[in-house]
Each structure stands twice: as structure tokens, then as C-alpha cells.
Amino acid sequence: DMKVTQMPRYLIKRMGENVLLECGQDMSHETMYWYRQDPGLGLQLIYISYDVDSNSEGDIPKGYRVSRKKREHFSLILDSAKTNQTSVYFCASSPGTGRGAETLYFGSGTRLTVL
Amino acid sequence: GQQVKQSSPSLTVQEGGISILNCDYENDMFDYFAWYKKYPDNSPTLLISVRSNVDKREDGRLTVFLNKSGKHFSLHITASQPEDTAVYLCAAGVNQGGSAKLIFGEGTKLTVSS
């Protein structure tokens, strides 16, 4: 069963704490993404990863970093979280090759609240 | 600025009618266009997509129209049903060897009333 798994589903942190959001996929997809969704702004791309240790900034990378040491796993890290990073974070993956190469498969999202 | 824009935050259509969702983009280099559907507290899922070499694609009740000169694409849903009620996100991107760095619009909340 094709799946993108995000952990945790809900997270509350205090300003200044470090945050780790985890994402896994079982489809051997090359490309993985982190987006955040805010009201009225749709999905904004934070980072894209084309494969292990091949990461590229998206449109809003400031305040975030990522790690991809295995193809099936992509982490988003917030060093010293800020209140304006309160959002819903979606991880996604895409095959990168073949039919439907560009199709994004999304995880269920992590709702992060920074107090 | 917003590279992909959905100017209508909401749309209400009667059951059985045609829902028309619109999306405008700025980047001439975009060559891949898609519509995603999102229910509350759920993740977006792909509905339909087109490459820039076609100007129309049909799939059941769904049709995507692409107007490259106007930098505009739209999703038409015929025979709209209450279960079509959801947020619809348009997305556009440049195909880079299979991967597309997709830029999403703000979303349009479609309500189909019975």
C-alpha cells in the first residue's frame, strides 16, 4: 500500500525549542518535499529533496533545515522555533520517473503550534 | 509575489450544475499543471494534470482547460455532487527530469448544495 507517513500528527512546542518533524515513504520515490499550509496562502514549498543528500531550497526556507540520509526518510528541523512557524506541515513524495512522475503523494500533515 | 493565484476563495454551486475553478500563473516556464482536492483535516490528492503541450484534458466529470497565452488554467466539474465539496488547489511547475517543483495556489473552497 503506497503511503507517506508523518510523525507526529500534533505537536506543541515553546518558542526557542528545537522541533523535528519526520516523514517516511514506502514507494522508493526519488523526490520528497516539505510544504506548510497557512490560511489564505495555500501550500508553500519549504524544501525539496531530489535524493539522498541532494536538497534544494524552496520558496520559504528561512528558519528551516532538512535532512535526507535514506531515500525513504526526509526530516524537517526547526532550530529555535518561532511563533510564526505555527502551521500545518505537509510532507510529500513523487516518483520522479515514468508515468505520473510529477504526481505528489502527501502525508496526513503535522499540526505544529509554537507558543 | 504569488506565482500561482486562485482569485476566488470560495464558490457555491447547485447540485447537478457545473463547477468552474480558475487559476492564473505568472511564470512562462511552467510546463506542468495540476489540480488537487483536499478535504478538511486530510491531505491533498491529485485529481487531474496536464502538460503544456495540450490545451484540454478530460477524465470523467473533470476537464482541465489550459490557456498558455493567457497564463490561465481551469477545472470544470460537470454534474456537481455534494461529495465534490472540498478545497481545490491548483498547482503549476517546471518538469525537471521527472520531478516538478510545484507551486500551489491559495485554494478555492467549493460547496455543492443539494
Q: Are B73 and B90 in contact (CB under 8 A)?
A: yes
Q: For residue B37, give how far its alpha carbon lies from the nearest alpha carbon of chain A (Å).
A: 11
Contact B93 A59 (CB under 8 A): no
Q: What single string gives the DSSP state of each residue in B62-102?
A: EEEEEETTTTEEEEEESS--GGG-EEEEEEEE-EETTEE--
Contact A109 B95 (CB under 8 A): no
Residue A55: its pLDDT value, please?
A: 94
Q: Domain coordinates of chain A in residue numbers?
A: 4-114
What's the pLDDT tens digit per position in B40-97?
888 999 999 999 999 999 999 999 999 999 999 999 999 999 999 999 999 998 876 6
Write out residues in chain A with pLDDT < 70, as ranges: 1, 99
Q: Which domains does chain B have, with CATH numbers?
A: 4-113 (2.60.40.10)
Among the four given CATH numbers 3.40.190.290, 2.60.40.10, 2.40.50.140, 1.10.260.40, the one describing domain A4-114 = 2.60.40.10
